[in-house]
Structure 1
């Protein structure tokens, strides 16, 4: 079944590359909800997420000729959405101002951030984190990027990503424990 879905998506991508608007519309329908969720997790403002979502699809369809099936279309599109979301936040100057200056190497542990805590408390805690911390947590824990990839996305060093993740995790635990 999965191979069938992948084949269908590949056919839709190929047809979209040829300018088939119906295929583009079908691809949009297949990915719009998931990509909106990605944008919302990073931006948290519905209108911003909707704008970034539309811009991302426009960019994806314009650059579809560069898509070489080295990953899934969804992974490729997700990268566009994340990059556009990050650029949007940078433009609004919501990133931490001096990430590089605060870098300190830390151990990269994959332990659970908050074992056995209620999800609602974590959501509230995430909402209270500074934007930079929220981005690192979201990219690492929710989106599944490693610190090298996060460094590339945010244009910071790997060690900065690790240290910011460590600080963000510590801050989130503190906030959740105070709730």
Structure 2
């Protein structure tokens, strides 16, 4: 562990404002990105990011001396808070329209036509909340279907179906974008 990070953590534990600002500057981007990947709304993601970092300042026992472990902890707190935010939204379960699932896109398309990560994130952000949440957790949160089902309090088979439908919609969106 580098001394700079150790001094930073010690300063946060002592509630030093300068150390808290440096801690914020070091971790706000990954925390914001984790929240935004789930909620898809900048304002909500920023609020979740601030709440997550404030939680660390209020409860310094959550601090970890390893910077990579600290980032993982912060990302997990932000992801859980984002999921809670989605749960509170009234239209979470009703926003998913029942539709016919089209055939998946051809997996053999050339590599230069594959969308990059930013296009995928943008496409996911345009999906309904239910699809967006499940796809974000599966693709960016590295969670399996059982974990996603437990977090969202859904049946695992429902999560798999919604993932498949969301992925189909995402492919359609990305194909439309590439044609333009």
TM-score, L = length of structure 2: 0.70
1:79 maps to which residue?
76
Number of matched residues? 163
Query: Are 1:35 and 1:78, in contact at CA under 8 Å, matched by a contact in 2?
Result: yes
Describe the shift of the 1:129–1:25 C-alpha distance in structure 2 as closer, same or farther (beyond 3 A). Answer: same
1:142 maps to which residue?
140
1:117 aligns with 2:114: yes
Q: Of residues 64, 85, 88 in structure 1, which corresponds to 2:85?
A: 88
The offset of 1:132, in angstroms, is 0.8
The offset of 1:63, in angstroms, is 2.7
Query: Are 1:52 and 1:85, in contact at CA under 8 Å, matched by a contact in 2?
Result: yes
1:57 maps to which residue?
53
The offset of 1:23, in angstroms, is 2.4
The offset of 1:129, in angstroms, is 1.7
2:44 maps to which residue?
48
Where does 1:12-51 land on structure 2 (aligned, <5 Å)?
A: 12-51=8-47
Query: Are 1:139 and 1:150, in contact at CA under 8 Å, matched by a contact in 2?
Result: yes
1:9 maps to which residue?
5
Query: Are 1:94 and 1:132, in contact at CA under 8 Å, matched by a contact in 2?
Result: no
Structure 2 unaligned segments of length 5 or more: list them: 99-106
Greater Rg, structure 1 or structure 2?
Answer: 2
Structure 1 unaligned segments of length 5 or more: list them: 103-110
Describe the shift of the 1:144–1:62 C-alpha distance in structure 2 as closer, same or farther (beyond 3 A). Answer: same
